[in-house]
Amino acid sequence: MSGISANYYDGQSSKRHAVSIQLDANGMLSIHGDSLSACYPLDEITMAYRIGKRVRMIKLSDGASLEAETTPELDAILDQTKQHKHQGLVHRLESKLKYIVMALLLTIAFAFGFLTWGVPALAKSVAFSLPVETQDYLGEGTMEVFDEYFMQPSKLDKTRQAAIEKRFQALISGLDERDRYELLFRDSEKMGANAFALPSGSIVLTDQFIALAENEKEIDSVLAHEIGHVHFRHSLRGAIQSSSAAVLIALMTGDVASMSSFAATLPTLLVNMNYSRQFETEADNYAKQLMKEKGIEFYHFARILTRLTASHDVADDDDSLNFLSSHPSTKERIKSFQ
C-alpha cells in the first residue's frame, strides 16, 4: 500500500492517530490507522490551505483533521478540492521566484510613485485648504524662533527700505488677490546673505543680502522667486510632505523595531531633499514668468545667484552629488536664467 503518512486528530480530543491516506479507486479519501479506518468523499474536505512548503493541514467535514508533510502526491489529491485549487494561484505567486521578484518590483514602484506623486499631491491639496489663520500661526511661530536665535532688527536705513518696499508692491500688483505678501527686513550675521519665504506670506531679506545686490533689479528677481514660493505654498507643503513621508516610511520599515523613528530618518531625508529641489525649480519658473511681465531681464537673477552661491561657499555643482543636493544644481539654474 502506497499511502501518504499523516497524523489524524478526531477533533474531540488531542489524541493522535498515525494513519496512512490515499485516494481509492472510487475517488474517496481513505484513511487507515491501527485503531481507525475511515472514508471521506473529496467534497467533505472543507479546508485545505496551501501556505509554505512543509505541511498541509486538512480539515474534514465532521471536525476531524489531518496533518501531513507536503508531497506532490498529496497536493495532487488536494488539488481536486475547490479551495485548494483556488489557493494554488496565490500559493504560486508566493512561492515562485519570478512572481516574487515581480511583486517586489511592483511594490517598490508603487511606493516610489506614491512618494513622488501621491504625497506631493496630497500635501498640495491640504496646504491649499488650510485656513489662513493656521498659515499665519505657523509663519509667526517660525518668525519668533528665527528672531530669537538667528536675526536682529534691520540696520538698513528707512528710505532704502521704503524704496525696496515700493518696488515690491509694484511686483505684486496684479497678482492673485487670494495670496497675501509681506516684506520684512532683518539683520543676520549667522544666516549671511539670504532671502526666504514663510507660510504666512512673509518674505524676509537680510541686510547682508541687500549689501550683496549690485542693483535694484537683482533684488526684484530674488523677490520674484520668493513670491513664487509663497504663491505655491512651498514651505507649508514641504512641512506636510516631510512629515507624511516620515509616517509612511515608518509604517513600511518600522513595524518590527521599536526604533521606527530612527529607522525612518535616512530614507525620509533623501525623499525630502528631492522634494525641495522640485520646489526650487517651480519657484524659478514662476519668477521667470513674473520677471517677463514686469520687464526684468533674466540675467539679473543669474548674477545675484552666482554671488549668493559664492558668498555661502557652496560647492554643489558636482553632478555626482546631485541627488543629495537640496537645490537643483546651481550651475543649471544659473544657466537657465542667462
Partner 1 sequence: MEEENSDTRELSIEFTGSGSEYFGIWIVNILLTILTLGIYTAWAKVRTRKYFYNNTRMDGAIFDYHASPIAILKGWAIVVGVLIVQQVLSSINILYGLGLLLAIMAFIPWAMVRSRVFNLLNTSYRNVRFYFEREYKELYTIFLIAPLPIIVGYGLFFYVAISAESAEVTPDTGIMALAGVFILAGFVLLPYYLHRFYSFIITRSSFGRTPFENCSSAGAFYSIYLKAFGLGLLVGVAMMVVMGVSAGLADVADGVISVIMGVLAFVIYLIGIYYVIYFIEATKLNEIWGKTSIDGNRFISKLEPWGLMWVMLSNTVLIVITLGIYIPWAHVRMTRYRLNHLLIEVTGDMDNYIAKGHKEMGALGAELGDAMDFEISL
Question: Residues in the site for partner 1, rule: CB under 8 A?
Answer: 7, 9-16, 47, 49, 51-55, 57, 63-65, 67, 90, 93-95, 99-100, 103-104, 106-107, 110, 252-259, 262-263, 266-267
Q: Which helix (H) or strand (E) holds 186?
A: strand 182-187
Least distance to partner 1, CB of residue 124, Å? 18
- What one-character-per-residue DSSP string does 102-134 give? HHHHHHHHHHHHIIIIIHHHHHHHHHHHS-HHH
User: Could you give the CA distance from residue 150 to residue 102 in angstroms, rounded to a whole number?
Assistant: 51
| Long-range Cβ contacts of 89-92 (<8 Å, 24+ apart) | 90/50, 91/50, 91/51
CA distance to 51, 67, 240, 266, per residue, from 262 (Å): 34, 43, 19, 8
Q: Which is nearer to partner 1, 9 or 137 (CB)?
A: 9
Least distance to partner 1, CB of residue 227, Å? 31
Q: Which is nearer to partner 1, 211 or 259 (CB)?
A: 259
Q: Which is nearer to partner 1, 98 or 155 (CB)?
A: 98
Least distance to partner 1, CB of residue 134, Å? 13
Q: Which is nearer to partner 1, 1 or 97 (CB)?
A: 97
Closest CA to 47 of 5, 11, 94, 101: 11
What are phi and psi for residue 296, nearest 5 degrees?
-105, 125
Least distance to partner 1, CB of residue 183, Å? 34
Query: For the sheet containing 182-187, what is the strand order?
Result: 152-153, 182-187, 202-206, 195-197
Q: Which is nearer to partner 1, 71 or 107 (CB)?
A: 107
Q: Which is nearer to partner 1, 53 or 158 (CB)?
A: 53
Q: Which helix (H) or strand (E) holds 45?
A: strand 45-48
Count Cβ atoms within 10 A of the Cβ of residue 89 and give its class: 0-12 exposed, 13-18 middle, 19 or more buried.
exposed
Q: Which is nearer to partner 1, 94 or 317 (CB)?
A: 94
Least distance to partner 1, CB of residue 273, Å? 16
Least distance to partner 1, CB of residue 112, Å? 11
Q: Which is nearer to partner 1, 93 or 132 (CB)?
A: 93
Place of cell 521578484: 101
User: Could you give the CA distance from residue 172 to residue 282 in angstroms, rounded to a whole number?
Assistant: 18
Least distance to partner 1, CB of residue 260, Å? 9
Residue 110's DSSP bridge partners are: none
Sign of the Cα torsion 188, 192, 197, 202 reads positive
Least distance to partner 1, CB of residue 317, Å? 28
Place of cell 518590483: 105
Least distance to partner 1, CB of residue 57, Å? 5
Q: Which is nearer to partner 1, 23 or 252 (CB)?
A: 252
Place of cell 510613485: 113
